[in-house]
C-alpha cells in the first residue's frame, strides 16, 4: 500500500512493538506528528517540556523495560537538544532510537533555517547514524536502526529524515521485526582456561557490571556466585543484578565503594569481571588495582578486553550464554576461610552516617523500608546518587536507573517519567540534589500534564554537594560557585507546575511524607532539607589505589593526630 514517509515511520514503530514515544514537535517533523495523531490509540506520545527530557525519558523507559526507547525531535535546536541524552545512553549502553527530521533535500548544506548536521554531531556518541534522503530506503533504515540498537552491546542509533521524505509516497510492505543479534566469539579452549582459573582460585571475588543487567543474566550471576562461594561486589550500573540482601554481597566497589569491597578486591587472587568495563571511578590507580589477582574478564564487547585493565583470561560474548555454559560445568566450590575473612571486614567496616539529624541516607533507608526494596529508583548525579547506591537494597535488575558513564546532571526526572510509562505498576522515585533538580525541573510539568504518579525527592543542602565535598577535601575549603543559598522555593515551583509538594525538615516527617506521596496517585515532590556539609563516605582520593579507601573516622583520626 502507498503511504507517506511519515506514515511509514509510524508503521515501522508499530512493527517494532513500540507503544510509547517521547518528543517535542517542530516545523520539519510536522508530517510525522500528523501521522502520530492518526495513530494515537496505538502509540502514546509523551510531550516533554524539553527535548533533553524526551531523550532521558526514552533512556529511562529502555532501562526499566529492556525494550528500545524512542524519542523524536525536529531539526536544528530540537535535534541538538537531544545530544546530551544520546550521549548518556551511549556511555551506559542503552538501546535507543532517536528520530529527527531535517530540512528538505534541496535545502541541505545551505545553512537553511534550523538546519544542522545532526548525524555528524552525534557520530561519536551513537552506535550508528543515518540520514534518509530517499523514501524508498526509509522503512529498511528504521528496521536496521532498531536491530543495531538492541544487538550485541546495546546503544543509541540516530535516524535523521529530510522533511520531503516524510511527505513522499512509497509502497509499504509490513515485515516481522528481526531479533537482536549477538556474536559468540569465545571457544572451548577459552572456556577451559576460565574453568581452570575458577577452580584453582583460593580467594576469588566477583565483580558485577551493567552488562549483567543488560544481558538479563541476573539468575545466572546468582547461580554462579553460589557455586563459586565467592563474595560479590558491583558497579553503579550493575545494581540489582545480584541481590543486595545476599550474604555474599559486599556492596559497591570504587571511589565510593565500601571498604569491604575495595579491600577485598585488593587482596583477592582472582577477580572475575562480569559485564564490567573497569572505568576509572571503579579502578582508581590502575597499576595498583587488584595487584595480587589474576583477572578473568567476560564481556560482550571485545574492545573492552585489555582496554583499561590487563586480563589474564577473557571470554567475549553474551554474558547470560557464557554463564550458562560455565555454570553447567563448574563444580560446587567452597572458600569458607576467604568468605569468613570478608565477613569480618563487613562487620568491622559497615556503612554508617550521623543518625542524629535528617540526612539523605536516612531518607533512602526509609524509602527502602516503606517500598520493601521493590521500587524503581532513578537518580541524578552527585552525593545523593552515591547514597542511593549505598543505602537502598536493590534485589532485582532494572530497578536502579542512573547516569553512570556520562554523569549527567538533570537526568533523573525525565528517566523516572520514562520508567513509570514503561512500568506503570511500579513505584517510581527520582532522587535529586537541589543543583541537579534545577537543570530539568520543568519536566514536573510533563508529569502533571499526564498525571504520571512519579515521586521526586529533592535532597536540598543548598550547595553543589559533591563538588563542595571535593573543595573541602582537596581545595582547602575554597567554595567557588558551589553555594546555592538563593531564594528558590522548590515546593512553590512544584505546585506552580501542577504537582503536590511536601517539605521535610525533621526525621520524623520522612515516613509520613513518603507514604502520602505513594498514596497520592499523581506526581509529588518531597523536599528534604539537610546540612550543607554532609559527605559521602567511604571515598578514594583521585589517583589513589582503592585499597587506600577512607571514611569520616579516618579523617577525624588524621585531624586529631595533626
CATH number of the domain bearing residue 94: 3.40.50.970
Q: Which of 127, 163, 203, 239 is catalytic?
A: 163
212 and 287 together in one domain? yes
- Residue 162: band (very low, low, confident or very high) from pLDDT cuts 50, 70, 90: very high
In the 8-state DSSP scheme, what is residue 3?
E
- Residue 562: band (very low, low, confident or very high) from pLDDT cuts 50, 70, 90: low
- C-alpha cell of residue 177: 521485526
Q: Output the CA torsion sign for 524, 530, 533, 537.
A: negative
pLDDT score recorded for residue 175: 96
* Cα dihedral 101/103/108/113 (nearest 10): -120
pLDDT score recorded for residue 56: 98
Residues forming a β-bridge with 190? none
226 and 327 together in one domain? yes
pLDDT score recorded for residue 485: 87
Is the model's pLDDT at 185 over the cut of 90?
A: no
Q: Give the percent of the chain with pLDDT over 70.
A: 99
Mean pLDDT on 386-412? 98
* Half-sphere exposure (Cβ direction) of 51: Cα atoms closer than 13 Å: 20
- Residue 179: band (very low, low, confident or very high) from pLDDT cuts 50, 70, 90: confident
Q: Does residue 524 belong to any structural domain of this protein?
A: yes
- C-alpha cell of residue 174: 509490513
368 and 510 together in one domain? yes
pLDDT score recorded for residue 150: 97
Asked whether the bond before 538 is cis by omega within 30 degrees of 0, the reply is yes
CA–CA gap between residue 442 and residue 57 (Å, rounded): 13
114 catalytic? Reply is yes
Q: Which of 348, 373, 399 is the last residue of a domain?
A: 348
pLDDT digits (tens, 9 = 90+) for 450-489: 999 999 999 999 999 999 999 999 999 999 999 998 899 9
Q: Which of 466, 490, 527, 537 is catalytic?
A: 466
Q: Which of 314, 348, 382 is the last residue of a domain?
A: 348
Instruction: Estimate to the nearest angstrom the gap between the alpha carbon of 412 and the chain centroid.
Output: 9
Mean pLDDT on 511-525? 98
Q: Does residue 552 belong to any structural domain of this protein?
A: no
Mean pLDDT on 329-343? 98
- Residue 522: band (very low, low, confident or very high) from pLDDT cuts 50, 70, 90: very high
113 catalytic? Reply is yes
pLDDT digits (tens, 9 = 90+) for 209-237: 999 999 999 999 999 999 999 999 999 99
Q: Which of 14, 114, 227, 294 is catalytic?
A: 114
337 and 381 together in one domain? no
Residue 33's H or E segment, with its range, is helix 30-38
pLDDT score recorded for residue 181: 83
pLDDT score recorded for residue 233: 98
- Domain containing 522 equals 360-537
In the 8-state DSSP scheme, what is residue 176?
P
Q: Does residue 177 belong to any structural domain of this protein?
A: no
259 catalytic? Reply is no
Q: Which of 208, 177, 209 is nearest to 68 (CA)?
A: 177
454 and 502 together in one domain? yes
CA–CA gap between residue 128 and residue 119 (Å, rounded): 9
389 and 295 together in one domain? no
383 catalytic? Reply is no
pLDDT digits (tens, 9 = 90+) for 10-35: 999 999 999 999 999 999 999 999 99
Q: Which of 42, 113, 123, 506 is catalytic?
A: 113
Is the model's pLDDT at 558 over the cut of 80?
A: no
pLDDT digits (tens, 9 = 90+) for 112-133: 999 999 999 999 999 999 999 9
CA–CA gap between residue 270 and residue 112 (Å, rounded): 58
* Average pLDDT over all residues of the chain: 97
196 catalytic? Reply is no
Is the model's pLDDT at 182 over the cut of 90?
A: no
Q: Does residue 340 belong to any structural domain of this protein?
A: yes
> Any alpha helices (H) in 162-258, and if so which ranges?
163-167, 188-200, 210-214, 218-228
CB burial of 261-281 (b: ≥16 within 10 Å; e: otherwise) equals bbbbbbbbbbbbbbbbbbbeb
Q: Which of 7, 16, 22, 51 is catalytic?
A: 51
322 and 426 together in one domain? no
319 and 366 together in one domain? no
435 and 294 together in one domain? no
Q: Does residue 36 belong to any structural domain of this protein?
A: yes
pLDDT score recorded for residue 205: 98
The domain tally of the chain equals: 3
34 and 114 together in one domain? yes
Is the model's pLDDT at 557 over the cut of 80?
A: no
Q: Does residue 353 belong to any structural domain of this protein?
A: no
Is the model's pLDDT at 561 over the cut of 80?
A: no
209 and 335 together in one domain? yes
Is the model's pLDDT at 180 over the cut of 90?
A: no
pLDDT score recorded for residue 436: 97
CA–CA gap between residue 189 and residue 423 (Å, rounded): 42
Q: Does residue 553 belong to any structural domain of this protein?
A: no
Q: Does residue 506 belong to any structural domain of this protein?
A: yes
What is the pTM for the complete model shown? 0.97
393 and 522 together in one domain? yes
Report the CATH number at residue 286. 3.40.50.1220
Amino acid at each position: 500500500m502507498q503511504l507517506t514517509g511519515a506514515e511509514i515511520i509510524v508503521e515501522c514503530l508499530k512493527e517494532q512493538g513500540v507503544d510509547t514515544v517521547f518528543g517535542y514537535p517542530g516545523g520539519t517533523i510536522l508530517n510525522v506528528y500528523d501521522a502520530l495523531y492518526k495513530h494515537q490509540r496505538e502509540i502514546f506520545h509523551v510531550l516533554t517540556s524539553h527535548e533533553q527530557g524526551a531523550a532521558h525519558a526514552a533512556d529511562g523507559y529502555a532501562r526499566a523495560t529492556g525494550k528500545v526507547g524512542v524519542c523524536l525531535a525536529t531539526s536544528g535546536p530540537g535535534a541538538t537538544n537531544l545530544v546530551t541524552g544520546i550521549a548518556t545512553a551511549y556511555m551506559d549502553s542503552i538501546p535507543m532510537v532517536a528520530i529527527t527530521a531535517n530540512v528538505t533535500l534541496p535545502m541541505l548544506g545551505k545553512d537553511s533555517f534550523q538546519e544542522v548536521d545532526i548525524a555528524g554531531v552525534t557520530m561519536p556518541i551513537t552506535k550508528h547514524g543515518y540520514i534518509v534522503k530517499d523514501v524508498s530506503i526509509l522503512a529498511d533504515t528504521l528496521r536496521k536502526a532498531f536491530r543495531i540498537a538492541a544487538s550485541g552491546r546495546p546503544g543509541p542509533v540516530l535516524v535523521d529524515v529530510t522533511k520531503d521524505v516524510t511527505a513522499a509516497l512509497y509502497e509499504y510492505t509490513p515485515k516481522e521485526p528481526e531479533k537482536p543479534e549477538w556474536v559468540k566469539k569465545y571457544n572451548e579452549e577459552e572456556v577451559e582456561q576460565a574453568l581452570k582459573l575458577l577452580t584453582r582460585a583460593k580467594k576469588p571475588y566477583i565483580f558485577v557490571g551493567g552488562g549483567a543487567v543488560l544481558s538479563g543474566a541476573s539468575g545466572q550471576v546468582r547461580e554462579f556466585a553460589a557455586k563459586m562461594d565467592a563474595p560479590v561486589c558491583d558497579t553503579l550500573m550493575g545494581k540489582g543484578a545480584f541481590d543486595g540482601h545476599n550474604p555474599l554481597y559486599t556492596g559497591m566497589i570504587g571511589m565510593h565503594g565500601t571498604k569491604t569491597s575495595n579491600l577485598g578486591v585488593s587482596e583477592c587472587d582472582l577477580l572475575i569481571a562480569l559485564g564490567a568495563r573497569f572505568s576509572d571511578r571503579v579502578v582508581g590507580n590502575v597499576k595498583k588495582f587488584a595487584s595480587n589477582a589474576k583477572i578473568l574478564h567476560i564481556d560482550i564487547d571485545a574492545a573492552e578486553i585489555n582496554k583499561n585493565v590487563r586480563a589474564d583470561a577473557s571470554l567475549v560474548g553474551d554474558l547470560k550464554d557464557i554463564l550458562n555454559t560455565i555454570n553447567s560445568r563448574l563444580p560446587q566450590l567452597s572458600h569458607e576461610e576467604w568468605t569468613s575473612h570478608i565477613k569480618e571486614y563487613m562487620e568491622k567496616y559497615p556503612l554508617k552516617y550521623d543518625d542524629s539529624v535528617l540526612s539523605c541516607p536516612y531518607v533512602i533507608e526509609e524509602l527502602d523500608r516503606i517500598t520493601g526494596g521493590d521500587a524503581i529508583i532513578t537518580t541524578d548525579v552527585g552525593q545523593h546518587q552515591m547514597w542511593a547506591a549505598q543505602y537502598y537494597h536493590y534485589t532485582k535488575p532494572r530497578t536502579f536507573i542512573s547516569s553512570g558513564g556520562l554523569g549527567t546532571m538533570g537526568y533523573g526526572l525525565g528517566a523516572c517519567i520514562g520508567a513509570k510509562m514503561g512500568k506503570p505498576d511500579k513505584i517510581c522515585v527520582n532522587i535529586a540534589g537541589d543543583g541537579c533538580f534545577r537543570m530539568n525541573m520543568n519536566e514536573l510539568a510533563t508529569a502533571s500534564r499526564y498525571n504520571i504518579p512519579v515521586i521526586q525527592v529533592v535532597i536540598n543542602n543548598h550547595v553543589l554537594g559533591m563538588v563542595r565535598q571535593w573543595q573541602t577535601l582537596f581545595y582547602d575549603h575554597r567554595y567557588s560557585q558551589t553555594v546555592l543559598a538563593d531564594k528558590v522555593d522548590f515546593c512553590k515551583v512544584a505546585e506552580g507546575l501542577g504537582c503536590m509538594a511536601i517539605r521535610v525538615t525533621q526525621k520524623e516527617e520522612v515516613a509520613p511524607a513518603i507514604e502520602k506521596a505513594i498514596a497520592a496517585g499523581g506526581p509529588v515532590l518531597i523536599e528534604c532539607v539537610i546540612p550543607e556539609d554532609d559527605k559521602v563516605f567511604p571515598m578514594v582520593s583521585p589517583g589513589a589505589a582503592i585499597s587506600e579507601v577512607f571514611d569520616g573516622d579516618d579523617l577525624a583520626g588524621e585531624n586529631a593526630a595533626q
